[in-house]
Amino acid sequence: MYKYLISYRKVEGSGQKPDWASFTTQSEASLEARAIRERVERRMSVLGEQLWGDGQVGGGRLDDVLYKREEAAPDTSVVYGLVEE
């Protein structure tokens, strides 16, 4: 079973500074960017959050994800990486 760390930029209202939120998810199959985006959208709908940026999704190794999150371009919305197989 695959386990992913997913981070996304969110805002809770207009005019607010975007903030990163993170969660983990497990899947029996390797997830593609589209599936990661769907999971983020489901989570945001429950929490009443809005996605920041233009919806770009970037993936990679966990250490790359943490780096990408800190150095992400303003339009990057979601980054994710494999934690364990």
Does the pLDDT value for residue 54 go beyond 90?
no
Residue 23 confidence (pLDDT): 93
Does the pLDDT value for residue 42 go beyond 90?
yes
* Tens digit of each residue's pLDDT (9 = 90 or more) over 10-35: 988 777 888 889 999 998 888 888 89
* DSSP assignments along 30-81, one per residue: PPPHHHHHHHHHHHHHHHT-EE-SS-EEEEEEHHHHHHHHHH--TTEEEEEE
Confidence class for position 63, pLDDT limits 50, 70, 90: confident
| pTM value surpassing 0.85 | no
